[in-house]
Structure 1
Amino acid sequence: MPQTPHQRAEAALTAYGLTFPETTSGPSFGVTRGLYVRKKGFAVFGDRDQPQDALTVILKLPISAEMAAHLPFVREAKGWFKQHNWVIADFGPKDDVLAELDTLKAWLKQSYVAVAPKALSRQLD
């Protein structure tokens, strides 16, 4: 069965994230999937009852959270997530998630750097 663009985007982001030092992937809370550095999560993929042609990505963006909040595919974070600069990018069936892949990769890297120990963060380009 061919993958949807949303599934391809998640696979590409996961593959990119796994190139970062000491990164692993695995289940996150509930039905979501996550990327971890030394058991600390820096990316969450999916949402409860999410169809295959949709994708939610949650990332920690201490530098660009305020700017990202104004993008049409970013859903307002609340409570702890907002207080700690986590951003929720939400792509529905009609959204072109692949067009935003470069932005999401940059955000994934920023999230890794925000969560990873400094010695590991310095190993990135």
Structure 2
Amino acid sequence: MNKAISSLLAISLFLASLQCQAQEYGKLDGTYAIKSATLIDPPSNEKKDRIVMIIKGNAAKDMYDEIPAKAKKSKCDAEMLLKIAGNLACTKESNFYTCNVAILLRTGETASALVC
């Protein structure tokens, strides 16, 4: 099994484990894009080498709540709180949660997908 699929499976299992105690799997809301290392305005010759996933809704809230790091004020928005675990970044603004992570398609390793 290649590492990208392994990473996606690991993330899915993590999300499922958050709800497994007395619940079934939850719906995963979000978006994705195949991107290059420069996430915003990349040079035209930069190779697309990662999938960037933006997870929203209940899954993002569950992830945010379970990340043991202390929430910090985001440098991007004074009203936003940020928790980071490795390359996984989750934010909370009012009652809206979002988590961002990238997976390098060649190795399956994660990379940061946090941008302001």
Pairwise same-fold verdict (TM > 0.5):
no
- Name the larger-Rg structure: 2
* Structure whose residues are more often strand by fraction: 2
TM-score range, shorter chain: 0.3 to 0.5
